[in-house]
Amino acid sequence: MDGNGRWAKQHGEERIVGHMNGVRGVREALTGATEIGVRYLTLYAFSTENWNRPQPEVNALMDLLVRTVVNELDELHQNAVRLRAIGDLESLPASCRETLNDAIARTAGNDRITLTLALSYSARWELVQAAQRIGQAVKEGRIDPKDINEQAFEAQLATHGMPDPELLIRTSGEQRISNFLLWQIAYAELWFTPTLWPDFRKDHLFQAVLDYQNRERRFGLISEQVTPS
Ligand code: IPE
Ligand code: MG
């Protein structure tokens, strides 16, 4: 979800006003995804690197997160949204973490769509965590190094149990991944739009999905192998 700061600048406002307006983008993406039957939506809300932004912006973002979760919780629940979070949640302020954990617990039984917030998340952090856990398991004799395969590795990721993303959308004209789900997006289709996140609407999502539907996903095979005859 990129471009909140630039949106604010264009409107002659402080950066945080851009973040506040970014909540609309979240609503649009979530309702759009739910309407078309998407089962998993993962939003990159705050990266490990974002902690190094000016402190007032970090604080405002954390406040906004708590307020948004509190304000939207009833509606999320009514719409059978299951909330999850991935990332170094221990590093979040305690109030934030508690609000989030309450919302996660309250929506745990919902199954229409899983909304995962990546918070204090970076893929390199996640991969290092996985390596540490596997190293520990080896040390304790719970796993033999030659049994470390892709499945064993996947089991240690924060996204364990979730399917790999089929489509990755990045807004604001930047064409890079910026440390997001590096393992999981091995075969994801990428879609970029110059639209800034606060201007993101359902129609952008639908456009991305239509584009996705016209792509041929070969997973390393040749066209004839993946196209039913
Ligand atoms: C994305 O918008 C929101 C977060 C990273 C929290 P930015 O804040 O990165 O907006 P730009 O890139 O400065 O426009
Ligand atoms: Mg940015």
Q: Tell me if 3 CB under 6 Å of ligand 1.
A: yes
Ligand nearest to the CA of 62: 1
Ligand 2 ion: nearby residues, β-carbon < 5 Å? 2
pLDDT score, position 157: 98
Q: What is the 3-state secondary structure (H, E, C) of the chain?
A: CCCHHHHHHHCCCCHHHHHHHHHHHHHHHHHHHHHCCCCEEEEEEEEHHHHHCCHHHHHHHHHHHHHHHHHHHHHHHHCCEEEEEECCHHHCCHHHHHHHHHHHHHCCCCCCEEEEEEEEECHHHHHHHHHHHHHHHHHCCCCCHHHCCHHHHHCCCCCCCCCCCCEEEECCCCCCCCCCCCCCCCCCEEEECCCCHHHCCHHHHHHHHHHHHCCCCCCCCCHHHHCCC
Domain 4-213 in CATH 3.40.1180.10: yes
pLDDT score, position 191: 98
Q: Which residues of the chain are modeled with pLDDT < 70? A: none
Q: Is 2 a catalytic residue?
A: yes
pLDDT score, position 228: 78
Q: Report the share of the chain in percent with pLDDT over 70.
A: 100
Q: Is 50 a catalytic residue?
A: yes
- Over residues 176-199, the pLDDT tens digits come to 999 999 999 999 999 999 999 999
pLDDT score, position 229: 74
pLDDT score, position 222: 96
